[in-house]
Amino acid sequence: MGERAPLCVGIDPHAALLADWGLPGDAGGLERFGRTVVESLADRVAAFKPQVAFFERLGSRGLAALERVLADARAAGALVITDAKRGDIGSTMTAYAESFLTPDAPLSSDALTVSPYLGFGSLAPAVDLAERHGRGLFVLASTSNPEGAEVQHAVGADGRTVAETVLDRLAAHNAGAEPWGSLGAVVGATLPPLGDPAAAISERALTAVNGPLLAPGLGAQGAGASDLPRVFGASLRQVVPTVSRDVLRAGPDAAALRAAAERWAGEVRAVLDGATP
């Protein structure tokens, strides 16, 4: 983020975006879309976040397109956070983790989004594999979709919300890591401000994570860079802000894509520069 720009750009080939770009909705269109985003932005953003579902829907041809997009991103030196939200138990969780976190896997990525809602301990195979290969995980904690509150805001017997319990488990794992641990949290940029009773998480829990906080919700979902300090407080410098459609719809022109990404990066950088070190 320091060397390039403090921004993660999603690679989400929605059918409407493909049409706007003049691309077909087949595997070739997905590949052209993803590789154009990477080619245009890989030297100036910190990370990409491809959404696996848009590629999986076309079966093996779609996944082959994703493989080539990931290979381009890796070759260009950009980090890849693959958004697959995997969550299962035992050998199945191991297989999911092997798909994305082993160096020789066709879909090898720097980090993977995972769901802890079969119990945080169910993520152990992914945690172990990520640590073995120097990769990371972003664990769903308090997400940007309103439906998430049904589970994530539920309060346990100890008075903590489910979301805060997830953050505390991450904090325990990352304790003592320098500069950060490799387990991060997904915390939506559209959430209520810290201190609001609807926030369901505290500033204490966020700062204690001692890991990166992936923040979706910028742009089309309604959040702006100016919302980040209200949502993240003292943990602002841990935030990896993510924007997708607000950059992607500027394509397919490479210069327009770069201008959109640079505009967002500038807004985020201005907010970070105003934060207390």
Residue pLDDT, tens place only, 87-111: 999 999 999 999 999 999 999 999 9
Please give the average per-residue pLDDT across 152-177, as a whole number.
Answer: 96
The pLDDT-based confidence of 197 (bands split at 50, 70, 90) is: confident
CA distances from 217 to 1, 150, 225, 246 (A): 18, 19, 10, 10
Expressed as residue numbers, the domain containing 247 is 5-274
Q: What is the DSSP letter of 193?
A: P
How is residue 195 annotated by DSSP? T
Residue partners of 181: CB distance under 8 A and separation at least 6:
170, 173, 174, 175, 209, 210, 211
Q: Which of 213, 248, 251 is nearest to 233 (CA)?
A: 213
Does the active-site annotation cover 49? no
Q: Residue 135: CB partners within 8 Å, gap ≥ 6?
A: 101, 109, 110, 111, 112, 129, 182
Q: What are the pLDDT digits (tens) for 205-249?
A: 999 999 999 999 999 888 999 999 999 999 999 999 999 999 999
Residue bearing the bigger pLDDT, 59 or 195: 59
Residue 86 has pLDDT above 50, yes or no: yes
Distance, in Å, from the CA atom of 144 to the CA atom of 146, rounded to the nearest integer, reads 6
Query: How many separate domains does the chain show?
Result: 1
The predicted pLDDT at position 239 comes to 97
The answer to whether residue 277 scores a pLDDT higher than 60 is no
In the prediction, which pLDDT does 221 show?
85
φ and ψ at 23, to 5 degrees?
A: -105, 150
- Kindly state the percentage of the chain with pLDDT values over 90: 93
Q: Which of 195, 269, 188, 260 is nearest to 226 (CA)?
A: 269
Q: What phi, psi does 9 have (nearest 5°)?
A: -110, 125
Quick check: 276 pLDDT over 70?
Answer: no
**96's tokens:** 């999911």
Which is the catalytic residue, given 85, 133, 153, 237? 85
What Cα–Cα distance (Å) separates residue 189 from each residue in 41, 93, 220, 273? Answer: 22, 28, 12, 18
Whole-angstrom CA distances from 133 to 102, 129, 188 are 7, 6, 27
1-31 pLDDT per residue, tens: 989 999 999 999 999 999 999 999 999 999 9
Helix (H, G, I), strand (E, B) or coil at 138: strand
d(CA 33, CA 245): 13
Local structure of 250: helix, strand or coil: coil
Sorting pLDDT into bands at 50, 70 and 90, what band is 275?
A: low
Kindly report the average pLDDT of the chain as a whole number: 95
Copy the structure tokens of residue 42: 């890989």
Cα 247 to Cα 227: distance, rounded to the nearest angstrom: 18
Contact status, residue 126 vs residue 112, Cβ threshold 8 Å: yes
Residue 22 belongs to domain with CATH number: 3.20.20.70
269-274 own/partner pairs: CB under 8 Å, 24+ apart: 269/5, 269/6, 270/225, 271/225, 271/226, 271/228, 271/229, 271/236, 272/6, 272/236, 272/237, 274/229
